[in-house]
Structure 1
Amino acid sequence: MYSLKTIYKVSLLLGLLTLGGCKTLTPVKMPSTIQTTESFTGRTDTTSIGQVPWKVFFQDPYLVSLIDTALRNNPDLKIAVQRIEMARADVLRTKGFLLPSVQVEASTGVRKYGDYTMDGVGNYDTNFSDNIDQDRRIPSILPDYFLGLRSSWEIDIWGRLRTLREAAYARYLATEQGRQLVVTRLVAEISSLYYELLTLDSELGIIRKNKTLQESALETIQIQKEGGRANELGVRQFRAQLLNTQSLEIQKQQQIIEVENMLNALLGRFPQQIARGESILQQKLPEELTAGIPATMLRRRPDIRQAELELRASKADLLAARAAFLPSLTVSAHAGFNAFNAAFLFNPASLAYGLLGGLTAPVFNRKALEAGRLWAQASSLEALSVYNQAVVRGYQEVVTSIRGVENLGKIAELKSQEALTLQQAVAVSNDLYLAGYATYLEVITAQRSVLQTELELAEIQKQQFLVMIDLYRSLGGGWE
């Protein structure tokens, strides 16, 4: 029996170790998260287009079909789904830490004690005792057979295992947000490429229309040359302009092939022609693009919610790293049949069981634990910075897109008037040239200007749709 003095010393030692570990539980002062403003650019909208499902927001049925196909077949989305499954498995693993581990054990072994050891002398002396029969005499080479259950259970008295489970669960939720982030980016990318494809179609049509006009002008000046009213220089200038337009036509055809292949890659299929609807000139922008308030954006954007959950997980990791300094209470148990003679293994007298509970505290490995705590603390601060960065980036994207919608609308209106004016100038220049009041250079300049302006107008109209898509994505739209 241990004396009370010995028990007191052991208890005092464990108490000191516990107090030493408790120092690590002193909360670390963490910087606060960034606070957003109450509105975007002074707007007070109560609703946000980010709340509109993508199937309602996009009206073109061809685009809706493309997005739907991508959500079924896109490789990046499939990878994100598997990451969710991995995180879910990690949650189940950390939940298992809170439960006792139980194993079925069937083992056998052999031992030979030295003659001049306590066990060897004890076994030798026991064999001469009158209290045991022949079956219970201990052989000099001692077999050992065991068949039963062994269990071990760490009782979570400081909450370390629970915080590990909370960290795993937060990361599982973060992976779900990661999947939604892939979805929003996929919807935005496919719709952007689709409108770019429509723009290329429109630009190709503009080029072909102008090519027809230039062919007609070339035929006219060739006739005039034959009649002595024009020279070879004018013919060559018109032909050079026509050749340049023909090269632009081939460039646009190649760009269409490239965009179609990019779309097919996102759809997870081999290159093929993409079916599309009306031209970019006939596509309609929503009448009103409302942004709502920043608080709504924070709740909807998957990247911000993912960063927030990663921050929560890293804080839980830090708590678990601090709790690792404290003593742990482990209970071990076994029950089964144990004998040194296999013939008597299943004899009721061979039934054996045991129960052991003990406190263990780190002493010499505290530096490793301290390194783990410092790593968890740095990881937590990093996660906080990532969260703040995501909030600032989201706010900036919304404001930039709002201003882009407003300014591109004004530019498109002015560019439309410019294109109409230049189209009229081409007609006038042709009439004047035929009447002898304008030079062929003026006709060429007018034709070149209208071609350039019409292409710029198509590009601006595309930018209007792209900035609309970016506003929709930046407000958290596209994942439902």
Structure 2
Amino acid sequence: MALGSSGCLLTSDLPDPALDVPPGYKAAGTRDPMDAPPTLDWWRGFRSGELTTLMEEAQTVNLDIAAATARFRQADAQARVSGAPLFPSLSGSGSETYSRTSGSSSSGLNNGGREVVNYSASLSASYELDFWGKNRDAAQAAEETAVAGRFDRDVVALTTLTSVANAYFQVLTSQDRLRVAQRNIASAERILEAIRQRLSAGTGNDLDVAQQESVLANQRALVPPLRQTLQQNINALATLVSRPPESVKVTGGSLNRIAIPRVTPGLPSELLTQRPDIRRQEAQLASATANIGSARAQFFPSIQLTGQGGYQSSALVSLFQPHAAFFSLVGSAAQPIFDGGRILGNFELAKAKQDELLQTYRKTVVQAFADVDNALTAVRETTNRLRLQRNVVASSRRAFQLAGDQLRAGTADVVTVLNVQLTLFQAEDALVQAQLARLQAIVSLYQALGGGWESRMERPVNAL
């Protein structure tokens, strides 16, 4: 009966977080009933084979993920340690004792002494009746901590994958900006040649040439920082896939080759199971709640059963004979009476820890809703920005072409030509950065939604 009642008394349920889950995301607009959260391999939506290869490699070799995996293995082992008191402990021992008594008596006579050899073999067992659920709650707390460790590994993996995606897109951005800079340099050289021809024809002046040479020099000065940024982004990718930069070759290409996936946020209520950080906080709260039950059980008596049995004989040949057998059984109960407030302090500490984790859990959920709304807003606004910036580039290119034609015809004002080409150069560079901002907003939305996370977690193996 005591074993059957173990853990059934004074158990604590998870506290109600009193969360206000909205019916939909404010920035999501209208929702199609067929919309679903992202899949696990969400990065395939960008249609980049190189990005997919980097993502898959990072999942297997990233050192942060490996360290997080080692941490949850530690938590699994700790769960087994905490679950051990639920079972009896059994130990065996064997001994051979040799002793010799003194040969001198009190009368001063020497009687030669006596030699004694004693052999024994025994088994000892002990078990604490977990009538109040102390050990079971402690084991449950350790198990939930191990569960939290698994979710923590998912958090690290999600952060790593989004870092890989962002670093890869920054590589493409640097390559695109370099191409834009080289193209702008070529355009500035053509304008400079046209102005020099005007100078030779007597329709220009040295000031016009000097101004255009300044524009060309500024464009050339932009190239080294862009090359530095490109290499830094490649090195960041190398770190994420745990390889030295010398062994990482990133072909990259252009942001224009990256497909734009359609990301649907699903329902806010689904976010509670999609985000691994929410599930981690939930598991930690469950662990703290179980610790309260274990701390409360400390107020009640501890009931211990111990037993020992075996054989003892002075002759090895007769050690396992029936007459050499012995045994002992002991039952004991210990009730705390006065401990200076240790048990009460431990109980109040467990309750305060639970309250802290409850508030942290609530904040994590609220922050998750805000993250999704922020990401949805970013996707919408960066899409609008990109569309408008493309209009700016198209208008600037047309103006630059007209100015160049007029310059070659000798009817253009050089100041106007200078202003038009600077506007085009800045607009083209801003267009590349607007493309990057849109892709990063999509990645942030995947991250805010849990990155296509789904429960593929197994409970740790312990004594429960």
TM range (shorter): 0.7 to 0.9
Number of the residue aligned with 1:295: 269
User: Which of 32, 43, 68 does residue 80 from structure 1 map onto?
Assistant: 68
Residue identity over aligned pairs, in percent, reads 26
- Whether contact under 8 Å (2:118, 2:313) holds in the other structure is yes
Number of the residue aligned with 1:151: 125
Number of the residue aligned with 1:18: none
Number of the residue aligned with 1:102: 90
Amino acid of the structure 1 residue aligned with 2:354: S
Alignment pair present for 1:53 and 2:41: yes
- Whether contact under 8 Å (2:13, 2:289) holds in the other structure is no
Q: In the TM superposition, what is the alpha-carbon distance from 1:342 to its structure 2 partner?
A: 8.2
Q: In the TM superposition, what is the alpha-carbon distance from 1:429 to its structure 2 partner?
A: 1.5
User: Which of 407, 422, 432 does residue 433 from structure 1 map onto?
Assistant: 407
How do 1:407-422 residues align onto structure 2 when only pairs under 5 Å count? 407-422=381-396
- Whether contact under 8 Å (2:134, 2:294) holds in the other structure is yes
Q: In the TM superposition, what is the alpha-carbon distance from 1:196 to its structure 2 partner?
A: 1.4
Q: In the TM superposition, what is the alpha-carbon distance from 1:419 to its structure 2 partner?
A: 0.6
Q: In the TM superposition, what is the alpha-carbon distance from 1:57 to its structure 2 partner?
A: 3.1
Q: In the TM superposition, what is the alpha-carbon distance from 1:34 to its structure 2 partner?
A: 2.2
CA 400–361 in structure 1, closer or farther in 2 if over 3 Å, else same = same
Amino acid of the structure 2 residue aligned with 1:37: P
Q: Secondary structure at the match of 1:244?
A: helix
Query: C-alpha separation between the residues in 1 aligned to 2:339 and 2:126?
Result: 22
Q: In the TM superposition, what is the alpha-carbon distance from 1:142 to its structure 2 partner?
A: 10
- Whether contact under 8 Å (2:301, 2:335) holds in the other structure is yes
- Whether contact under 8 Å (2:305, 2:331) holds in the other structure is yes
User: Which of 48, 51, 61 does residue 63 from structure 1 map onto?
Assistant: 51
Alignment pair present for 1:473 and 2:461: no
- Whether contact under 8 Å (2:400, 2:417) holds in the other structure is yes
Query: C-alpha separation between the residues in 2 aligned to 1:309 and 1:45?
Result: 32
CA 107–208 in structure 1, closer or farther in 2 if over 3 Å, else same = same
Number of the residue aligned with 1:225: 199
Query: C-alpha separation between the residues in 1 aligned to 2:218 and 2:425?
Result: 12
CA 331–297 in structure 1, closer or farther in 2 if over 3 Å, else same = same
Pairs aligned (count): 430
Number of the residue aligned with 1:193: 167
TM-score (norm 2): 0.85
Number of the residue aligned with 2:22: 37
Query: C-alpha separation between the residues in 1 aligned to 2:155 and 2:273?
Result: 13
Q: Deviations over 1:318-354 (max 9, x none)?
A: 1111111110111011112346898976664332211
Alignment pair present for 1:379 and 2:364: no
- Whether contact under 8 Å (2:194, 2:407) holds in the other structure is no
Alignment pair present for 1:266 and 2:240: yes
Alignment pair present for 1:355 and 2:324: no
Amino acid of the structure 1 residue aligned with 2:89: S
Q: Deviations over 1:274-321 (max 9, x none)?
A: 4345411232212x3321110111111100011111111110011111
Amino acid of the structure 2 residue aligned with 1:177: F
Number of the residue aligned with 1:311: 285
Number of the residue aligned with 1:132: none
Q: Secondary structure at the match of 1:49?
A: coil
Q: In the TM superposition, what is the alpha-carbon distance from 1:440 to its structure 2 partner?
A: 2.2
Amino acid of the structure 2 residue aligned with 1:69: E
Number of the residue aligned with 1:322: 296
Q: Secondary structure at the match of 1:290?
A: coil
Alignment root-mean-square deviation, CA: 2.8
How do 1:7-22 residues align onto structure 2 when only pairs under 5 Å count? none
Query: C-alpha separation between the residues in 2 aligned to 1:164 and 1:27?
Result: 12
Q: Secondary structure at the match of 2:256?
A: coil
CA 342–423 in structure 1, closer or farther in 2 if over 3 Å, else same = same
Query: C-alpha separation between the residues in 1 aligned to 2:116 and 2:17?
Result: 66
Q: Secondary structure at the match of 2:265?
A: coil
Q: In the TM superposition, what is the alpha-carbon distance from 1:476 to its structure 2 partner?
A: 1.6
Number of the residue aligned with 1:234: 208
- Whether contact under 8 Å (1:211, 1:242) holds in the other structure is yes
CA 179–29 in structure 1, closer or farther in 2 if over 3 Å, else same = closer
Structure 1, unaligned stretches of length 5 or more?
A: 1-23, 112-138
Query: C-alpha separation between the residues in 2 aligned to 1:424 and 1:54?
Result: 39
Amino acid of the structure 1 residue aligned with 2:181: I
Alignment pair present for 1:202 and 2:202: no
- Whether contact under 8 Å (1:415, 1:457) holds in the other structure is yes
Query: C-alpha separation between the residues in 1 aligned to 2:329 and 2:114?
Result: 29
Query: C-alpha separation between the residues in 1 aligned to 2:152 and 2:11?
Result: 33
Alignment pair present for 1:167 and 2:141: yes
Q: Deviations over 1:47-90 (max 9, x none)?
A: 23334532543421111000001111000111111112112112
Query: C-alpha separation between the residues in 2 aligned to 1:72 and 1:392?
Result: 32
Query: C-alpha separation between the residues in 2 aligned to 1:303 and 1:245?
Result: 45
Number of the residue aligned with 1:13: none
Stretch moving more, 444-453 or 337-346: 337-346
Query: C-alpha separation between the residues in 2 aligned to 1:253 and 1:206?
Result: 13
Q: Secondary structure at the match of 2:384?
A: helix
TM-score (norm 1): 0.83
Q: In the TM superposition, what is the alpha-carbon distance from 1:107 to its structure 2 partner?
A: 5.3
CA 27–269 in structure 1, closer or farther in 2 if over 3 Å, else same = closer
Query: C-alpha separation between the residues in 2 aligned to 1:359 and 1:157?
Result: 12
Q: Secondary structure at the match of 2:156?
A: helix
CA 232–167 in structure 1, closer or farther in 2 if over 3 Å, else same = same
Query: C-alpha separation between the residues in 1 aligned to 2:293 and 2:116?
Result: 48
Number of the residue aligned with 2:425: 451
Number of the residue aligned with 1:117: none
CA 160–143 in structure 1, closer or farther in 2 if over 3 Å, else same = farther
Alignment pair present for 1:282 and 2:257: yes
Q: In the TM superposition, what is the alpha-carbon distance from 1:197 to its structure 2 partner?
A: 1.2
User: Which of 335, 338, 341 does residue 309 from structure 2 map onto?
Assistant: 335
Amino acid of the structure 2 residue aligned with 1:32: P
Query: C-alpha separation between the residues in 1 aligned to 2:453 and 2:221?
Result: 41
- Whether contact under 8 Å (2:47, 2:258) holds in the other structure is no
- Whether contact under 8 Å (1:181, 1:479) holds in the other structure is no
CA 457–32 in structure 1, closer or farther in 2 if over 3 Å, else same = same
